[in-house]
Structure 1
Amino acid sequence: MTTILEMHGISKTFPGVVALDDVSLKVAEGEIHALVGENGAGKSTLMKVLSGVYPHGSYEGSISFQGEECRFSGIADSERLGIIIIHQELALVPLLSIAENIFLGNEQASRGVIDWSATFARTRDLLKRVGLKETPQTRVTDLGLGKQQLVEIAKALSKEVKLLILDEPTSSLNETDSEALLKLLLEFKARGIASILISHKLNEIARVADTITVLRDGAAVSTLDGKDVSEAAIIRDMVGRSLTDRYPPRHPAIGETVFEVADWTVHHPLHSDRKVVDGVSFHVRRGEVVGIAGLMGAGRTELAMSLFGRSYGVGISGAAKIHGKPVDLSTVSKAIAAGLCYATEDRKTYGLVLDETIRRNIPLARLAGISNGIVVDEGRELAVARDYRDRIRIKSSSVGQEVVNLSGGNQQKVVLAKWLFAGPEVLILDEPTRGIDVGAKYEIYAIIAELAASGKAIVVISSEMPELLGITDRLYVMNEGRFAGEMATADASQEKIMATIIRAGHRN
């Protein structure tokens, strides 16, 4: 196949850090080329060099596209050649229509006047190509994440894409939407469009990738044939060692019931006649890890957020007990005081103050623990941050490092440290390993196992069924706002969970 992209000897440094060290990469026309590696390995940095986010002159090495050397001064230069990058955080304007988003900055206009007829006609064609049936006038805010991802791809197609770069495109998608997106990439391949796919989901990589390049510590350590490689081999190259077990061994010592919820019902905040959580009851015991499985939109996050200080929903009813005593969970501060903490699925928006340091983030949920009255004791603040950094093994230059500069796995550890300092009896973890590589996932799993061993009652919400089967003791299956089933993890399987969801769907 003809080589469409060649990056040679790319090196990029930041103050005190070598982000890329002599990395070379080749991509052929119509190839799906996967880029894998642990958080902080240099994947996103390499793609920012390619797309012009880091302009020519800020790195060493060369880039050739379709046989011509490229010296991009910005992202507009790479887009003009058909190199389009779709970031993990989607760049869409929620209150604008699909058509307005697709052609934002690239308006179909004549003499300064937008031709809406041409805009809508072109949008309909693009939506058909990506398999969306919505109208061009549909607002992006009314679409699910999977469909928003397809709008981003339609936007890329509008710019005559030749090389599509996707950064963790399925990290927030359910299995159905992920499957649709991967199928679309294979269709693009058939049309001769090349793709670079960054993903931590190795099963998806193994299914669609023609070639896999593994980065570790800023260097390209291997290039593998995607059709003849095992996940174990990819992991070995990613982490520099064999990872024989994906999940740490556990020997649960499960005790008395710690947290009970009875007949919990929550209504949608904008459509108060619609129930998003409907009569849910469950319990978690001391030293137990309980999982909540379900498809996206089942109501799992809405349940967790409504329990945590009524952070979501209206018309909330039901009862909750901790250690057999009724508790008031009506505000976040009351929930924390009662011993309930919630680690959000969106750590960057709701879990952390990104432009603050580790030292400032860790005590945020219990400032009284580092204060004398209303004045923060900086010595105690520093001691607490250092203690939790060491205890949870947060990799950083110091506790003075801003969390925005940490890898995803270490950011998640800071979130966990923040809630552990709050002293919870019950910890709800919503998608605790989203966007985290396989090595960092193991470390998060180990922390969860340690917390359970110390007697905490833990609830884990995850869209990855293998993860739930690997780290929990008991599972609830949720569908359309209700709990459709309960099973011991030892008796569970992915097939059994899906069958429970399907049966519940038929009943509803």
Structure 2
Amino acid sequence: MYALEMKSITKEFPGVRALDRVTFSVKKGEIHALCGENGAGKSTLMKVLSGVYPDGTFTGDIIVNGRKQRFKSIKDSEKAGIAIIYQELALVKEMTVGENIFLGNEPKTFGVIDWDTLYLEARKWLKSVGLEINPETKVKNLGIGQQQLVEIVKALSKNSDIIILDEPTAALTEAEVSLLMEMLRQLRKRGVTCIYISHKLNEVMSLADSVTVLRDGKTVATHPIGELTEEKIISLMVGRTLTELFPYEPKQRGEKVLEVKNFSVYSPYQNKQVVRDVSFSLHKGEILGIAGLMGAGRTELFTSIFGAYEGKKQGEIRIDGRPVTIKTQRDAIESGIAYVSEDRKKYGLVLDMSVRKNATLAALDKMIRNGVIDEAAEVSTVNRFIEKLKVKTPGLEATVNNLSGGNQQKVVLSKWLMNEPKILILDEPTRGIDVGAKYEIYKLINELVRQGMAVVMISSELPEVLGMSDRILVMAEGRIVGELTHEEATQEKVMMYATGGGASGKTEAVLSI
């Protein structure tokens, strides 16, 4: 029996058909993965299902447990037993776990919240899924992984029997991912139906019972997991076989463009070294991979070099052999350095501004004529980069928040490439991006390096570092503890350095292998 059937769902936005007669059926009590590139229609389909896009704004039928539904709001969807848990959690951080679980559904006696009952019931729900958390703990004091699990408990407390999880492990450590997966397996045994949206195909392969793939707003295929491999899913997602996920190209590296000597960085909150006496060089026309466990000091090192870290620093930076002083980001930009942040939404983009305005943010001085922005020059320049980077957007005036993650990342890259930097620092460049968009970004990076740019790639995805880098520096506890060439680097060698080569061996948060 199907817990959910969505038949011939079509949803249009001005100038764009986001869903084109999509069919999606999920059996009762299964974990059903929904896969597809960014922009394939996954989130739009789930917003239709959860009532974010109400009945009348789309065509097609939604059938839940055999009954046809017409959701006018999110509340209607919740009443039908559907709960959606987004990547950006919807918990109130200053409230307790118990208050969050029953927010809007608090048990009351004579119109007054019964706190004893609320916390008693919260303890029961937490215990039912094996969570050892005091319900009177404030949510802000929990880790992201525990917060994610509290969201699931909140959904269950509303008697939801269909739970949608949208990229649930994006911010979780490996231990937290294991805990979440075990909870989902337990829920499956209890008959709860889960729709699991993820770019991480290793998770899909180990967890899902069935997989549906969307591409360009259409249903491509639905298969039992036993009929699939990661390669087959990728092929269905992108419409072609990616014979080489990482298009590595051997390079003839040029002269040194960046030298960092005896560089140390201190935490802005306490007099603690987070980067310790680091020295390294970067050459023109090479990709330098930076690997290490979370907390190894990778981001602190390179945000300091870029002038964007608040803590004090000491050491020497040379560009093209000349010493430079970088106190601010403007100093770094003028020295030929660009930095693509790991959090593009927080640091890389102004989400409610247009594609055009975001793309020119770092290069406005190049667009000014007689003290005024030359809009014709701006439009012409942005169009050139949009075409070059193959950004999918309805137009230059489209709000960047409405683009897929991969296309948002390309807008960030456009912003920095307009400055024609010598050195491009990429911090987690493909985080939250689907495999097809990753491949396009890798090809773009290769093209930039062929043109002589020097690229630093900081990544927690070890296959990405191994697959794209000419050299790899491994960091642990603020130090560089190993250097490997592309040919000699293996997962085992990198992890040996990351966990033991000068480090304490702590592995609470590990690289995605």
Same fold flag (TM > 0.5): yes
How far, CA to CA, are the matches of 1:134 and 1:485 in structure 2? 39
Cα displacement (A) at 1:129: 4.8
- Residue of structure 1 equivalent to 2:434: 437
Residue number among 484, 488, 498 corresponding to 1:487 in the alignment: 484
Q: 1:210 to 1:358 in 2, by over 3 A?
A: same
SS in 2 for 1:227: helix
SS in 2 for 1:276: strand
Residue number among 450, 461, 464 corresponding to 1:464 in the alignment: 461
How far, CA to CA, are the matches of 2:127 and 2:457 in structure 1? 38
- Residue of structure 1 equivalent to 2:363: 366
Cα displacement (A) at 1:47: 0.5
Q: 1:185 to 1:507 in 2, by over 3 A?
A: closer
Cα RMSD, aligned residues only: 2.2
How far, CA to CA, are the matches of 1:106 and 1:307 in structure 2? 50
Q: 1:226 to 1:333 in 2, by over 3 A?
A: same
Q: 1:158 to 1:304 in 2, by over 3 A?
A: farther
SS in 2 for 1:483: strand
SS in 2 for 1:455: coil
CA contact (8 A) 1:11 1:59 kept: yes
Mean Cα deviation higher: 498-507 or 337-346: 498-507
Q: 1:369 to 1:303 in 2, by over 3 A?
A: same
CA contact (8 A) 1:174 1:295 kept: no
User: Residue 34 of structure 1 aligns to which amino acid in structure 2?
Assistant: A
Q: 1:157 to 1:295 in 2, by over 3 A?
A: farther
Question: What are the within-5 Å matches in structure 2 for residues 192-207 of structure 1?
Answer: 192-207=191-206
SS in 1 for 2:294: coil
- Residue of structure 2 equivalent to 1:397: 394
- Residue of structure 1 equivalent to 2:238: 239
SS in 2 for 1:314: coil
Question: What are the within-5 Å matches in structure 2 for residues 160-309 of structure 1?
Answer: 160-269=159-268, 271-309=269-307
Mark the runs of 5 or more structure 1 residues left unpaired by the alignment.
Answer: none
CA contact (8 A) 1:214 1:234 kept: yes
CA contact (8 A) 1:278 1:482 kept: yes
CA contact (8 A) 2:15 2:394 kept: no
Cα displacement (A) at 1:212: 0.6
How far, CA to CA, are the matches of 1:153 and 1:45 in structure 2? 21
User: Residue 159 of structure 2 aligns to which amino acid in structure 1?
Assistant: E
CA contact (8 A) 1:428 1:459 kept: yes
Cα displacement (A) at 1:368: 0.8
CA contact (8 A) 1:30 1:192 kept: yes
Question: What are the within-5 Å matches in structure 2 for residues 148-167 of structure 1?
Answer: 148-167=147-166
Task: Provide, for residues 84-131 of structure 1, a one-character-per-residue CA deviation record: whole Å limited to 9, x for no partner.
Answer: 101122223334333333333333443444333333344444444555
TM-score (norm 2): 0.92
Q: 1:176 to 1:410 in 2, by over 3 A?
A: same
How far, CA to CA, are the matches of 1:494 and 1:102 in structure 2? 41
User: Residue 106 of structure 1 aligns to which amino acid in structure 2?
Assistant: N
SS in 2 for 1:394: coil
User: Residue 134 of structure 2 aligns to which amino acid in structure 1?
Assistant: T
SS in 2 for 1:135: coil
Task: Provide, for residues 204-231 of structure 1, a one-character-per-residue CA deviation record: whole Å limited to 9, x for no partner.
Answer: 1111111111111111111111123112
TM-score (norm 1): 0.93
Q: Answer yes or no: is 1:74 the counterpart of 2:73.
A: yes
Cα displacement (A) at 1:444: 0.3
Q: 1:121 to 1:474 in 2, by over 3 A?
A: farther
SS in 2 for 1:491: coil
CA contact (8 A) 2:38 2:433 kept: yes
CA contact (8 A) 1:328 1:338 kept: no
Q: Answer yes or no: is 1:27 the counterpart of 2:26.
A: yes
Q: 1:479 to 1:355 in 2, by over 3 A?
A: same
SS in 1 for 2:119: helix
Give aligned pairs, total: 505
Query: Percent identity between the aligned chains?
Result: 51
CA contact (8 A) 2:16 2:394 kept: no
Mark the runs of 5 or more structure 2 residues left unpaired by the alignment.
Answer: 507-513
Q: Answer yes or no: is 1:506 the counterpart of 2:497.
A: no
CA contact (8 A) 1:266 1:313 kept: no
SS in 1 for 2:275: strand
Mean Cα deviation higher: 473-482 or 195-204: 473-482
CA contact (8 A) 1:277 1:481 kept: yes
Cα displacement (A) at 1:441: 0.7
Cα displacement (A) at 1:413: 0.7
CA contact (8 A) 1:265 1:317 kept: yes
Q: 1:11 to 1:266 in 2, by over 3 A?
A: same
Mean Cα deviation higher: 28-37 or 298-307: 298-307
Cα displacement (A) at 1:498: 2.2
CA contact (8 A) 1:352 1:361 kept: yes
How far, CA to CA, are the matches of 2:93 and 2:388 in structure 1? 40
How far, CA to CA, are the matches of 1:95 and 1:264 in structure 2? 39
SS in 1 for 2:426: strand
User: Residue 369 of structure 1 aligns to which amino acid in structure 2?
Assistant: K
